[in-house]
Amino acid sequence: MQPEFDVIVVGAGPAGAASALTLARKGFNVIMLEKAKIPGERNVTGGVLYGDFSGKYGLIDLLPEFEAEAPVERKVVSHEVYVVSNARDNKYRYYKMNRGSAAVRMGIFSIPPEGGHDYTVLRRGFDRWFALKAVEAGAMLSTSTTVEGLLKEGNAVVGVRTPQGDINSKVVIDCSGVTSPLVEEAGLREHLGPSQLYHGVKHVLKLDEETVNSRFGVKKGEGKAMALLGEFMDGISGGAFIYTNRDTISIGMVVSMNSMLKKITTDFTDTGKLLDVLERLEGNPLVAELIDGSEMLEYSAHNIPKSYKCVLKRPYADGFLVAGDALGSFVKIGSMIDGMRRAIASGMMAAEAFIGASASGSYGAGSLAGYMDILKPIYRDVARSGRDSFVSESSLAYSLFPKLVLATGLTSKEGDVKVMKPIDQRDAIQRIQDGTSLLNYDEDKDYAHIKVNAEGCSRALDKPWVPACPVNCYTILTSKGVFASFKDLYIYNLRKLESDAGAKGGNEKNFRYRALLQSRKDVALAGLRFDWVACVECGTCGAIGPKDMVDFHSEKNGHGVRYKFG
């Protein structure tokens, strides 16, 4: 069959747009297939868009005009890392790091240099602009088009299957992100599990431009990137971020999914959802002062590949290339969250690999194998992140180091609590509903993109899908009520024990221990409920799996969440 296109690019995010733009400029017939109605409205960022990359694979090389034309927020002029304590007696301690700090020199943390082309962005606006740049160059864009699978002739990929019909091409470049099923179908990687992923949640908060400038000590158009860790993490491996946008703040955290799951399914007395950690961060004295008076505009969640655990060993097959998060090109070194830069670079590199193969007219694996050489800078960075992870993602970085630097005035400083943010005592169902009520959804009433074996999941003792879901698609039903967080169930049991003891009193430590044991028993015996209406398609439940319990797929025909900011 004669191919309809030279290249099908799956996904119109940074990797897909970079690939399509590069190919269109060379005169190739290329189409981007994007599952959302508007590129970017399903995407979320918790990082800085770094404009440069080695070997002329940066955005500044692809689009030198981006700084003047793209809907960027602020130019990042400062990166800071803070270790913060909780408040005690209206005081708190903090330790601020820069590139000269001992922890940075020892490799415990990494602070990126300002490259001069680095910006905070919000993905809905930026991705749309980037995709349209590819269209202006001659690429086609089909939105509301979910790729359901690969077309093959023998072992060769010759196109894709969509709800609208099959589309043929010489090569398919998969830029569809961390939840891509195509990489598995092509035989390049097994299903990604919690140990291979980070999980992130984020708030976008409204603050007027002058307030942002004043509180963060920046000039008009300038921005700051902050990374934070400390007691608010409750032992979960990961860290928090704050980025200044023009008149909003992006605040959130990225954590190792397996570390999060261990906490919220076994030791959930203080943390039942990752949202609990985010709210503790926002109530921390240092942070509360920065965001005081802000208004929440958006709540979002997203999964990210842990590159050193899941990057593809072979990123190509017959008629098939992989770039961006589907490749596993995201890099986190210490505090530095760096995915978009490498998504763009790998998208350009995939296009270059196709262009090289086109000279011979052959698109088999042998002809596309040159992609490995082109990707060497990406693999170099991934290898470095893997080496650094032994320190930067160890208990030394996330537990011992914060205790050491905050324990003495020789390294840390003391601050006065100027703003007190009250703790929200409502349960996770109510608090998360506040966030999901801000989101726009195009609900598909006829198709459930997640297939859940509720009976089988109810038999699971720990039911990890429930506390891990950031938007409460999963809940448990007990004789004591419906719960989306095991912490809420623990609080119920603790209060019941204390009430039953009444005037007789009792040992608080013993009550807490008994309440925890009872809660674990209640979870094991509970039934599981599932409702996908509020799903933001992060893929967490699918990563936990297994597929015979939870089978995750993408929404179809443009249905699903539609972020305003991303």
Residues 341 and 447 in one domain: no
Phi, psi dihedral angles at 94 (to 5 degrees): -150, 155
Q: What integer pLDDT is reported at residue 401 of this predicted model?
A: 78
Q: What integer pLDDT is reported at residue 310 of this predicted model?
A: 95
- Of 119, 164, 147, 132, the residue nearest 38 (C-alpha): 132
DSSP state at residue 408: -
536 falls within a domain: yes
Domain boundary among 340, 358, 374: 374
Residues 56 and 155 in one domain: yes
Task: For residue 35, give its domain range.
Answer: 1-73+121-189+312-374
What are the DSSP calls for 86-98, one per residue?
PPBTTEEEEEEE-
Check whether 140 has a pLDDT greater than 90. yes
Q: What type of residue is 136?
A: E
- Give the whole-angstrom CA distance, residue 527 versus residue 545: 17
Q: Quick one: angle between helices 340-358 and 14-25, nearest 10?
A: 30
Please give the torsion angle defined by the CA atoms of residues 314, 319, 323 and 325, in that order, rounded to the nearest 10 degrees: -80
Check whether 503 has a pLDDT greater than 60. no
Average pLDDT, integer, range 397-419:
82
SS3 541: helix
Domain boundary among 331, 352, 374: 374
Q: What integer pLDDT is reported at residue 97 of this predicted model?
A: 84
Check whether 156 has a pLDDT greater than 90. yes
Residues 452 and 351 in one domain: no
- Give the whole-angstrom CA distance, residue 520 versus residue 497: 15
Check whether 47 has a pLDDT greater than 80. no
pLDDT digits (tens, 9 = 90+) for 455-502: 999 999 999 999 999 999 999 999 999 999 999 999 999 999 999 887
203 falls within a domain: no
246 falls within a domain: no
Domain boundary among 325, 344, 374: 374
pLDDT band at 505 (very low <50, low <70, confident <90, very high): low
Question: How far does CA 488 lie from the centroid of its chain?
Answer: 25
Q: What integer pLDDT is reported at residue 320 of this predicted model?
A: 98
- Give the whole-angstrom CA distance, residue 202 versus residue 47: 11
Phi, psi dihedral angles at 352 (to 5 degrees): -65, -40
512 falls within a domain: yes
Q: What is the CATH number of the domain that holds 63?
A: 3.50.50.60
Check whether 62 has a pLDDT greater than 90. yes
Q: What integer pLDDT is reported at residue 509 of this predicted model?
A: 84
Q: What integer pLDDT is reported at residue 342 of this predicted model?
A: 96
Q: What is the mean pLDDT of the chain?
A: 93
Residues 334 and 451 in one domain: no
Q: What integer pLDDT is reported at residue 333 of this predicted model?
A: 65
Phi, psi dihedral angles at 15 (to 5 degrees): -65, -45
Residues 458 and 534 in one domain: yes
Number of domains in the chain: 2
Neighbours of 454 (CB within 10 A): 12
pLDDT band at 139 (very low <50, low <70, confident <90, very high): very high
Q: What integer pLDDT is reported at residue 504 of this predicted model?
A: 60
Residues 65 and 143 in one domain: yes
- Give the whole-angstrom CA distance, residue 540 versus residue 264: 14
pLDDT band at 1 (very low <50, low <70, confident <90, very high): low
Q: What integer pLDDT is reported at residue 420 of this predicted model?
A: 85
Residues 35 and 160 in one domain: yes
- Stretch (H or E) spanning 35: none
463 falls within a domain: yes
Residue of 4 and 106 predicted with greater confidence: 4
Residues 463 and 542 in one domain: yes
Q: What integer pLDDT is reported at residue 326 of this predicted model?
A: 97
Of all residues in the chain, the percent with pLDDT exceeding 70 is: 95
- Give the whole-angstrom CA distance, residue 269 versus residue 511: 12
DSSP state at residue 251: E
Residues 370 and 517 in one domain: no
**Paired strand residues for 337:** 332
392 falls within a domain: no
Check whether 185 has a pLDDT greater than 70. yes
Q: What integer pLDDT is reported at residue 142 of this predicted model?
A: 98
| 565: its two tokens | 């900011």
274 falls within a domain: no
174 falls within a domain: yes
Residues 350 and 464 in one domain: no
Q: What integer pLDDT is reported at residue 264 of this predicted model?
A: 98
Q: What integer pLDDT is reported at residue 187 of this predicted model?
A: 96
Average pLDDT, integer, range 314-318:
98
- Give the whole-angstrom CA distance, residue 52 versus residue 32: 24
Residues 365 and 493 in one domain: no
Q: What integer pLDDT is reported at residue 277 of this predicted model?
A: 97
Collect all residues with Cβ–Cβ distance below 8 Å to 111 and sequence separation of at least 6. 79, 80, 81, 97, 98, 99, 104, 334, 335, 336
- Contact indicator for 563, 124 with CB cutoff of 8 Å: yes
Check whether 130 has a pLDDT greater than 80. yes
Q: What integer pLDDT is reported at residue 107 of this predicted model?
A: 63
Check whether 146 has a pLDDT greater than 80. yes
SS3 31: strand
Q: What integer pLDDT is reported at residue 357 of this predicted model?
A: 97
Residue of 334 and 316 predicted with greater confidence: 316
- Give the whole-angstrom CA distance, residue 261 versus residue 278: 16
